[in-house]
Amino acid sequence: MDISDGLVGDLRKLCAASKVAAGIRADAVPLSQAARIACQREPGLLETVLTGGDDYEVLATVPEDRCRSFEAAARAASVSVARIGQISKGSGVKALSSEGAELHLGRDSYKHF
């Protein structure tokens, strides 16, 4: 699915529809150089990066036993992919810091209305 309403919020929708939970590692989310620098200078911007809209990227879940073949197919097609987290039993989405602590976000996605 696309993440045009924000990574965390759109992942939450995907998890709710699939009846699973997810944990994402904020430090594994690919960022532009400008976004990386901005977040280093102002750590509070990480919430905007994880929850803001209009980032037209694609989010997919791939079973662990198919990750290598998925990544190989992506490389063959010159498509960049990044593993940013893991799906598990349960519900909800947790964003984790590089140290593994849960990030408490004030929102999860762009709100249209």
Measured CA to CA, the distance from residue 83 to residue 10 in angstroms comes to 16
pLDDT in tens, 16-49: 999 999 999 999 999 999 999 999 999 989 999 9
Confidence of residue 107 (pLDDT cuts 50, 70, 90): confident
- Whether residue 72 lies inside any domain: the answer is yes
Measured CA to CA, the distance from residue 80 to residue 65 in angstroms comes to 19
The CA dihedral of 35, 105, 9, 97, to the nearest 10 degrees, is 60
Length of the chain: 113
How many domains does the chain fold into? 1
C-alpha 51 chain-centroid distance: 9
Measured CA to CA, the distance from residue 65 to residue 73 in angstroms comes to 14
The pLDDT value recorded for residue 106 is 80
Amino acid at 68: R
Domain containing residue 55: 7-96
Residue with tokens 């909800």: 92
Residue 37, token pair as written in the block: 């620098």
- Whether residue 86 lies inside any domain: the answer is yes
Q: Which residue has the higher pLDDT, 61 or 56?
A: 61
- Whether residue 58 lies inside any domain: the answer is yes
- Whether residue 40 lies inside any domain: the answer is yes
Contact criterion met (CB below 8 Å) for 81 and 74:
yes
The pLDDT value recorded for residue 75 is 97
The pLDDT value recorded for residue 108 is 75
- Whether residue 110 lies inside any domain: the answer is no
Confidence of residue 113 (pLDDT cuts 50, 70, 90): low
- Whether residue 107 lies inside any domain: the answer is no
Radius of gyration of the chain (CA): 14
Counting residues of the chain whose pLDDT is more than 90, the rounded percentage is 73
- Whether residue 46 lies inside any domain: the answer is yes
Q: What is the CATH number of the domain that holds 61?
A: 3.90.650.10
Query: Which of 62-66, 92-96, 101-105 has the lowest average pLDDT?
Result: 101-105
| pLDDT > 70? residue 51 | yes
- Whether residue 105 lies inside any domain: the answer is no
